[in-house]
Amino acid sequence: SFKPRPPDKGAFPLDHFGECSAFKERFMECLRQSGYESSACRQRAMAYLEQLMANEPLEKLGFKDLIDEKSEAKPEK
């Protein structure tokens, strides 16, 4: 079960040039459709942050459980 916790980093980057607008809009659409239940939109939040931020391990941003789910879903070769 997912237990929310604040990210390890305290600063949040800003998208001054609007480069991540499409990701933000998809995230906001998900929030509206889910009745603003942010836990339902974690995949989109992760995608948004991946675009918005400099390279940073997403595990440090509170998405370790989603990273683990992705690696478990990949078929082994």
Locate the domains of the chain by residue range.
20-71
User: 13-43: per-residue pLDDT in tens?
Assistant: 667 777 778 888 888 999 999 999 988 998 8
How large a percentage of the chain has pLDDT more than 90? 14
What's the predicted TM-score (pTM) here?
A: 0.52
pLDDT of 32 reads 95
Whether 61 and 9 have beta carbons less than 8 Å apart is answered as: yes
Alpha-helical (H) ranges within 2-63 are: 21-33, 42-52
For the ranges 15-19, 27-31, 44-48, 67-71, which has the lowest average pLDDT?
67-71
What's the residue count for the chain? 77
